[in-house]
Structure 1
């Protein structure tokens, strides 16, 4: 599955038990979401928009926030966990030492969903402070690393880049930045 196919994955909501993590087979996201949905499981695969540079062309790509993994929640009509393990596109459920699926902490997926739109795209930018080191993940400055110089608005930050022996300032949307450690 190409990264563009992630756009076709909808986020469904249903009242049910806890959330679990399924490891996906290579290129199995779309297939897993489709087949898990048919079996009555609720799924969530958050993603963010990044820019890829090929020569002089920039291309927007959808990148999973947790590549190779999918959150799965059982609905009241869902079958046993073996059904998830045997679903096309799913390699296995992440399990504990007792060979049982490990639920995520309560509220983890709810907090993550609150930072995403209805399609599952991460829209809330991480909290930044002046002096933080960041990398640009989307837009014309893709892959450049810099330092936050000022915070003009919460959604737009002034970033200082070192380019060709001099410092260059640019205003970048906060959603296009990723913190560096």
Structure 2
């Protein structure tokens, strides 16, 4: 009879180093081989030529996590998996990632496995901010509230009148 606590302790998370832009491929092939994997992803934002671009990418480019048995897992197939280079090592040992780190990342993921990084800055109501992106870029405003997962309401003064304006939260910073 196995103790479920001992079974959980018999498995360890490790980081897999992947070929450039092939972490999704490595994850797919590792899963096809029966490995348990975790690759946290995050929304990335950029503005080029005045156009805002949003895409989803690995939170840790070229890395993913794989859960392996500490006692009888054959780790050899990982090196020959398409897209993967091998396990991250410290000397001769495969480096372990603490279970608490993985659990924290998994807790922060939404139902699609995406971590919302943009909401990581907590602004206080009436805190001065600067708009750094969009048509109001360069203006100072007063933070009012979050209006959604990735949007905020700010108080903007234009022509001596204050107006409530809703902008993406990645478009502001502390003034």
TM-score range relative to shorter protein = 0.5 to 0.7
> Structure 2 vs 1, CA of residues 57 and 179 (structure 1 numbering), >3 Å: closer, same or farther?
closer
Say if 2:79 is the partner of 1:85: yes
Give deviations 1:117-152, integer Å, cap 9, x for gaps: 23221136314244698997xxx64xx799884242
Shift of 1:177: 6.6
CA distance in 2, matches of 1:31, 1:70: 11
1:120 is matched with which residue?
113
Shift of 1:71: 1.2
- Aligned residue for 2:145, secondary structure, equals coil
TM-score of the pair, normalised by structure 1 = 0.63
CA distance in 1, matches of 2:165, 2:55: 22
Say if 2:31 is the partner of 1:37: yes
Q: Out of 27-36 and 124-133, give the one that drifted further.
A: 124-133
Q: Can you give the 5+ residue segments of structure 1 that lack an aligned partner in the other structure?
A: 1-14, 162-168
Give deviations 1:33-74, integer Å, cap 9, x for gaps: 121112221111111223444545444311221111111112
**Count of residue pairs brought into register by the alignment:** 153
> Structure 2 vs 1, CA of residues 146 and 35 (structure 1 numbering), >3 Å: closer, same or farther?
farther
Q: Which has the higher strand share?
A: 2
